[in-house]
Structure 1
Amino acid sequence: MKVANAEQMKRLDREAVREYRIPGIVLMENASLGVIRAMETKYGRLWGRSVLIFCGKGNNGGDGMASARHLANRGAHVQVVLLGEPESLQEDAAANYAICERMKIRIHPVVSPKDFSSVSRWISKADLILDAILGTGIVPPVRGLVEQAVRRINRSGKPVISVDLPTGLSADSSEIVGEVVHADLTVTFGLPKISLVQYPSLSNAGEVHVADISLPWELVDQAEIPVELLGEEILQALPPRRPDLHKGEAGRVLLIAGSRGMPGAAVMAALSCFRSGAGLVYAAVPGRVREFFHKQLVEGITVTLPETERDHLSLSALPDILAAARGKKAAVMGPGIGLDPATGDMVRSLIQKIRIPMILDADALSHLAGNTALLRKIRIPVILTPHPGEMARLTDVSDKVLKTRRVDLAREFAAAFGVILVLKGARTVIADPKGRVWINPTGNPGMATAGTGDVLTGMIAGLAAQGMAPLQAALAGVFLHGRCGDRAAAHRGKRGLLARDLIREIPNVLRTVDDKKRTR
């Protein structure tokens, strides 16, 4: 599903009216019916409920007044707070206001702060509050009467439903600026918006429901919108498991990982490769890590490499790694390799010489900080999987900027350096060199624990080794990784999950995918 910003959504609405001759009031009617259906799904029958609706002067307020009509028809007790004079309403919003008046729905205009005095009594009696003040297209922060209304809504303690967007949120950014409604349910129209699929803004949206307002499918499909919400359709690209498959054909992965103090990273990444379906995993590790690796994973094959005095990989390991890469379908470098300067020299040399698709993770990314220009010299597909701290070092931006511009920064970096970027975190962002972006909806806070990044890297490598194109492997790997985390959390809870819990779920999740394919 595409994810729109304010301008893209405005263009879709405009073209629906101009090119397809759909009256704007029809779109408003469809939107309000979507609000009512979502409310009924979450809160049950609305008959007899007291619903207080805050409406702005624009189309969002028009959606609110259209919703007021449908709520009244369903037997709800409806009152409307209009922030402004009724004479300021235009076109479709004015038409719905007129209908509400004829239906004798009580509407209370608020044109000055003193007009809020009676509103406080209405709030105390309300069962539900509908926020239809401002929607797509606003530039926060909100001021004046709108700001006061938002504060009253947030202090009410009542369930809040926001129409299209919580008032105060921008459609285009995940940043929270000023006062913003804290919704329990947000019913957005046509397509999800950037602020409804990324944190921290998503925290204010509650449960997000995308209502179909009958925009023509062709119009949406042809719209040039480069951001998408990742969905299960990506799993159709998973390679089939042929009856006559042997381990060599199932994919060979070269894993360059591990060091003294962090040998477990190599084990988790290798095990995740196997669990994702790879037939053979060759772990290129420092000599002193080799014994630990074999004790933990007897299925793996080790390539013992020269090491520094600190038991980290050294530059002299480069010829052995290049030799080991022959015949492999994918390579991973980074989990647990440490920050020894000699290891950094090896990383920067290897990425210019290796000739198979490569996933760079963890410490390999730290060794590239300040040297990202090297990425432009690479002639093979490269996937980078930074967590926010690693991304901040690669881009030299502050944590605050990174947190609120994840989509933009991922897209800019991938396009500038010709790589596939997987920016990890809540709602992981994947970007490709063409400027396309995907946002992953799977996963949960229980996955915020050591080693889950190594699991993701191993899963992507395992899928790539089985023949998936690098971008498809990255998309499917991220989606499945989150799904494994969700399954593990369902069984064990979100507090106290281990990376190993995700690895145990990989075969179960993949079996579910295969079963669905067979039943189609």
Structure 2
Amino acid sequence: MHRITLQNKHYLRRLNMLIYTCEQMRVIEENADVNGLSYVEMMENAGNACAEKIHSTIVGLNSAAKTVAVLCGSGKNGGDGFVIAKNLSDKGYGIRLVLTNGYPTAYESKIMYAYLEDKPVLVSDLKQNYDACVSACMSAAAIVDCVFGIGFHGRLDETTSKFFNDISRSRAKKFAVDIPSGLEGNSGEIKSDFFKADYTLAITCYKPVHILKPASDQCGIVSLIDIGIDEKCYDAVGSDVIVSAEHNEIKRFFKPRNPAANKGDFGRLLSVCGSRNMQGAAVMAANAAVESGVGIVDCVFPEAAYSAIASKLTEPLMDPMPSTADGFLKADNLQRIIELADKSTAVLLGCGLGLCEDTVRLVNGILANVKKPIILDADGINAVSFNINILKETSAPLILTPHPGEMARLTGLSIEEIQSNRVKAARNFATQYGCVLVLKGSNTVVAGPSGSVYINRTGNAGMATGGSGDVLAGIISSFVCQSMSLQSATIAGVYVHGLCGDNIEKKYSMHGVTPTKMIGEIAEVLSNFE
């Protein structure tokens, strides 16, 4: 994937593909203020736009009360709520204003609260009249959460936590302004009780919480709210996180094939995969690469696995090599593998390779001597974890595809630490070792050596099955051989892999998603990119 320049940043923003952290959002607002759009104007624009969205959503509801409960904190998010309350009151809604932390303290919010003085708005303080606040929400047509927004960290206080749980039983439509209160904007983690939203109105841009699971699942339907910030206010803010929401951006990676092309034009993949007890990994990776369009696949695997692998491979070439007594590739095969790698476009290393002393020596030897792109998966990654510095010493451009457990072995971090901030873990590793890193899992993260990060949103839990990663490795390797850049090939591979899983789920069920079915789906998915 190309580095994000100002020109393509604007293009991607128009596609709603960029997301920004809460800290970046504050800088954007500062830039807007400096450029003539004051904080008061931004608050008014946000509140009015949110009110219009809420009104258009609930206007057709059959509600005798036609009341809206607006929950306001003491900060700037509460100020948005006061504008929403004023706007909806002007439209004829009965407004019940719930102050969750007393009167406003932010300067702009105080101004907006003053606008309500002549409005027929009933105000209740959560800490002083809890039951009345709950009652207001239970009888409302809509509840609007303007308690914390991007300012929340840690855990809710006991009263607010209980309040959110109590009102979750209300049949009202529930709207969160910017971020459901109780969720942290920069994370997909859920650390606290939270406002359970049917709709989230994201101010100006997506934040990580809107994209990353499991928190994103609690945001309901997310809509972007434009508050009039000029495009140039984003230019000084580095955002390298791209969302796969738009098929068209992925499609740009696929180039039309020359009608006069031959198989040599689409690359040659050397697959060094498989062992006696894990023949299927080599088979699935090779077949996935073939289905993804590579010109030639040359499979190196242990002689001990020959019968099992050969019976399931039709298109690839086969190079069985001497194996250890346990059925792994011998390290003595290194020179022959290097010679084959020199004739290849890229090398896929590790799927089902097994882990033993010979594997470690072989993987290190390949990394030390091969200069072609290497896609390192599974036991290739595990072997490297014994000598992580080889990643800095190799001349080969690298793609690593760890799941959280393998990532933990690579980094020395716990799985919990990695999962708590997947973007940070992936970005730090990719920049430190100069590679493209795929941190697999829900919302697979692709990080590049420049620090750019891509979050994938295709795929489903049915794909969490043995062999799924081998299919992914084969797809990515195939795209590398077909002249995509390493990062583009990885982004496209992750996206296509997820679409295959999604298609299988629709045709059968989530329980029916298998790697073999995914391989059979690749050609149909790729037809959408031609």
Q: Same-fold call, TM > 0.5?
A: yes
Query: Are 1:10 and 2:26 matched, yes or no?
Result: yes
Q: Cα–Cα, structure 1 residues 327 and 139, in superposed 2: closer, same or farther, change >3 Å?
A: same
Counterpart amino acid of residue 174 in structure 2: V
Deviation by residue 1:1-38 (Cα, 9 ceiling, x = unmatched): 3322222110101111112x113233223323443465
Instruction: Rate the CA distance shift 1:121–1:433 in 2: closer, same or farther, 3 A.
Output: same
Letter in 1 for 2:438: V
Instruction: Tell me, yes or no, if the aligned pair for 1:314 and 1:342 is still in contact at 8 Å.
Output: yes
SS in structure 1 opposite 2:37?
coil
2:76 corresponds in structure 1 to: 59
Selected match of 1:177 from 191, 206, 219:
191
**Contact 1:83-1:145 within 8 A present in 2 as well:** no
In structure 1, list runs of 5 or more residues that go unmatched. 515-520
Q: Output the aligned Cα RMSD.
A: 2.2
Counterpart contact for 1:325–1:356, Cα < 8 Å: yes
Aligned equivalents of 1:130, 1:85: Cα separation in 2: 17
| 1:91 to partner: Cα distance | 3.9
Which amino acid in structure 2 is aligned with residue 429 of structure 1?
Answer: V
Instruction: State the distance in 1 between where 2:56 and 2:420 align.
Output: 32
Following the alignment from structure 1 to structure 2, what is the Cα–Cα distance between the partners of residues 39 and 501? 43
Which residue matches 2:387?
Answer: 371
Q: Distance in 2 between the 1:493 and 1:365 partners?
A: 32
Opposite residue 412 of structure 2, the aligned amino acid is D
Deviation at 1:507, TM superposition (A): 1.5
Q: Structure 1 307/358 Cα, relative in aligned 2: closer, same or farther at 3 Å?
A: same
- Any conservation in 1 of the 2:504–2:512 contact (CA below 8 Å)? no
- C-alpha distance in structure 2 between counterparts of 1:351 and 1:225, whole Å: 32
Is the alpha carbon distance of 1:183 and 1:286 closer, same or farther for their aligned partners in structure 2, counting shifts above 3 Å? same
Q: What aligned pairs does 1:65-104 form with structure 2 within 5 A after superposition?
A: 65-86=82-103, 88-104=104-120
Offset, 1:455: 1.1
Output the amino acid matched with 2:215. S
Q: Does 1:512 align with 2:528?
A: yes
Query: Aligned-pair distance for 1:50?
Result: 3.7
Query: Which residue is 2:11 aligned to?
Result: none
1:465-504 pair list within 5 angstroms:
465-504=481-520
Alignment check: 8 A CA contact 1:7 1:137 kept: no
Q: Offset at 1:245? A: 1.2
**Residue aligning to 1:201:** 215
8 Å contact from structure 1 (residues 384, 422) kept in 2: yes
Distance (Å, rounded) in 1 between the aligned partners of 2:79 and 2:355: 58
What is the CA deviation profile of residues 282-301 of structure 1, one whole-angstrom value per residue up to 9, with x for unaligned ones?
11111132333232221111
Residue 47 of structure 1, CA deviation: 7.2
Percent identity between matched residues is: 33
| Native 8 Å contact 1:47 1:76 kept in 2 | no
Measure the CA separation in 1 of the matches of 2:350 and 2:473.
9
Cα deviation, 1:106-161, whole Å, max 9, x if unaligned, reads 22233x3x411212222221333221100112222222543443333345465432
Instruction: Choose the corresponding residue for 2:45, options 30, 40, 62.
Output: 30
Alpha-carbon distance, 1:46 to partner: 5.2
- Provide the C-alpha distance between the structure 1 equivalents of 2:449 and 2:153, rounded to a whole number of angstroms: 30
Q: Please tell me whether residue 444 in structure 1 is matched to residue 467 in structure 2.
A: no
Corresponding residue to 1:430 among 433, 441, 446: 446
- Letter of the 1:303 partner, please give it: D
Kindly state the Cα deviation for residue 90 of structure 1 after the two structures are TM-superposed. 4.1
Letter in 1 for 2:374: M
Q: Judge conservation of contact 1:239–1:466 (CA < 8 Å) in 2.
A: no
1:304 paired to 2:325:
no
Match of 1:283 among 274, 292, 299: 299
- Counterpart in 2 of 1:187? 201
Of the three residues 232, 235, 239, the one matched with 1:218 is 232
Secondary structure of the structure 2 residue equivalent to 1:175: coil
CA contact (8 A) 1:186 1:205 kept: yes
Gaps of 5+ in 2: 1-16
For 1:468, the aligned partner's letter is M
Aligned equivalent of 2:272: 256
Matches for 1:287-436 after TM superposition, within 5 Å: 287-436=303-452
Q: What TM-score comes out, normalization by structure 1 length?
A: 0.92
SS in 2 for 1:512: helix
Relative to structure 1, is the Cα distance of residues 18 and 247 closer, same or farther in structure 2, using a 3 angstrom cutoff?
same
Scaled by the length of structure 2, the TM-score of the pair is 0.90
Residues 460 and 25 of structure 1, relative CA distance in 2, 3 Å threshold: same
Aligned residues: 510
Q: d(CA) in 2 for partners of 1:184 and 1:2?
A: 23
* Structure-2 separation of matches of 1:216 and 1:172: 23
Q: Distance in 2 between matches of 1:217 and 1:406?
A: 29
State the Cα distance separating 1:95 from its structure 2 match.
3.4
> Larger deviation: 139-148 or 284-293?
139-148
1:432 CA displacement: 1.3
* In structure 2, C-alpha distance between the alignment counterparts of 1:360 and 1:37, rounded to whole Å: 50
Shift of 1:429: 0.8
